[in-house]
Amino acid sequence: MAFKLLCIGGTGNISTACVRLAVEAGLKVTVLTRGNRPSELPASVLRVTGDASDPGTLAELAGRRFDGVVNFVAFDAADVHRDVEAFRGRVGQYVFISSASVYRKPPPRYVVTESAPLGNPHWEYAQKKVEAEDALRLAHRDKGFPVTIVRPSYTYGETWIPTTSGSDYTVVHRLRRGLEIVVPGDGTSLFVLTHATDFARGLVGLLGQAAAEGEAFHITSDEVQTWNQIHETIARVIGVEPRIVHVPSDFIARIDERRGASLLGDKAWSLVFDNSKLHRVVPGFQARVPFADGVRASIAWFEADPARQRIDANATVERILSAWHRAMAAVDVR
């Protein structure tokens, strides 16, 4: 009998790729979404329109007795408490999509394993993910709740162009016009970008694995790049030379608190995620999409339809550059 999977949220950046691969692998997939976001899912997927925060909706779904549940839209302890109450004793495996940003910053070591200390003083998003993980570990210890925690790091798909300035079309818009782009720090910190289809291979591989219960796993690419290299690759794909301006992350945080939190809480540090634990449980896992190929496909998706070419981050980039150039001019002693 096919593995019955419920995906809470199934039309987003990460989840769409996971749903597609789960169907390819022969799983019987149901997706709970609010129906606000269009997404091309396989015809065999059963779509349920509803709100994941509604206990009644969760209780009705729990009654269908899924083998596995993956929640892509749980962000804090309250979200996972609802799931524990709804699915305890009614599901064989519950997968929480956490984040690799949960680790202590600054990191004690740049190569990070799942046992590294948690705690992010800079980013509320990461702090809430830590609280959710803590709640699930308690539910596993005290109630036998069959949780698996996965920690992706900056996962992008065809609808994202991943940079430190956001994920919309802004960086390509600026590069094509010969405008300056912002790279935090000196651009040499190491980071990992993961294509959504590669994340999906790891996630689907963990489903139904007894060895995954009560454990946390990284699911990231093994391709390590600097932020300079990442932005240079994007420029090379579209055939231009980038005009990179290096701006300290602390300075960016003074101009844009939200963007600064994601830098100081994640992207400003050299971080390489050890996937050996995932390889032990899912021996066949391998990230297959090099960044150059993945971002080329993303740019093509944006440029196939002008309506997709949002430049929402452009005004913020201009504010950062303007403030930085004024500050540099004020201290120019030549």
81 and 208, same domain (yes or no): yes
Q: Which two tokens stand for residue 235?
A: 């420029």
What is the residue whose two structure tokens read 């994941």?
Answer: 52
What pLDDT sits at residue 35? 73
71 and 129, same domain (yes or no): yes
What pLDDT sits at residue 333? 63
89 and 177, same domain (yes or no): no
116 and 139, same domain (yes or no): yes
64 and 85, same domain (yes or no): yes
Segment 268-274 mean pLDDT: 96
What pLDDT sits at residue 38? 64
Q: What is the pLDDT of residues 171-202, one digit of tens each?
A: 999 999 999 999 999 999 999 999 999 999 99
Predicted confidence band at 282 (pLDDT cuts at 50, 70, 90)? very high
173 and 101, same domain (yes or no): no
Q: Is residue 281 part of a domain?
A: no
How far apart are alpha carbons 291 and 161 in whole angstroms? 10
253 and 213, same domain (yes or no): no
For residue 300, is pLDDT > 80? yes
Is 94 in contact with 140 (CB distance < 8 Å)? no
What pLDDT sits at residue 54? 87
Q: Tell me what percent of the residues of the chain surpass a pLDDT of 90.
A: 89
Q: Is residue 318 part of a domain?
A: yes
How far apart are alpha carbons 330 and 151 in whole angstroms? 43
What pLDDT sits at residue 175? 98
Provide the total of helices (H) and of strands (E) in the chain, helices listed first. Answer: 12, 15
- Kindly report which listed range (38-42, 101-105, 204-208, 232-236) carries the lowest average pLDDT score: 38-42
Is 108 in contact with 117 (CB distance < 8 Å)? yes
What pLDDT sits at residue 36? 66
What pLDDT sits at residue 294? 98
Peptide bond into 106 cis (omega under 30): yes
177 and 250, same domain (yes or no): yes
What pLDDT sits at residue 10? 81
* Burial class of 312 by CB neighbour count within 10 A (0 to 12, 13 to 18, 19+): exposed
Is 229 in contact with 162 (CB distance < 8 Å)? no
Structural domain of 35: 4-155+195-218
- Give the three-class secondary structure for 321: helix
214 and 298, same domain (yes or no): no
- List CB contacts of 189: < 8 A, sequence separation 6 or more: 226, 227, 267, 268, 269, 270, 271
42 and 146, same domain (yes or no): yes
Q: Is residue 78 part of a domain?
A: yes
Q: What is the pLDDT of residues 17-47, one digit of tens each?
A: 999 999 999 999 999 998 766 678 899 999 9
For residue 209, is pLDDT > 70? yes
Q: What is the pLDDT of residues 130-153, one digit of tens each?
A: 999 999 999 999 999 999 999 999
Q: Is residue 276 part of a domain?
A: no
Segment 61-86 mean pLDDT: 95
Domain count along the chain: 2
179 and 234, same domain (yes or no): yes
Which residue in 134, 112, 288, 326 sits closest to 196, CA to CA? 288
For residue 119, is pLDDT > 80? yes
Q: Is residue 275 part of a domain?
A: no
Q: Is residue 277 part of a domain?
A: no
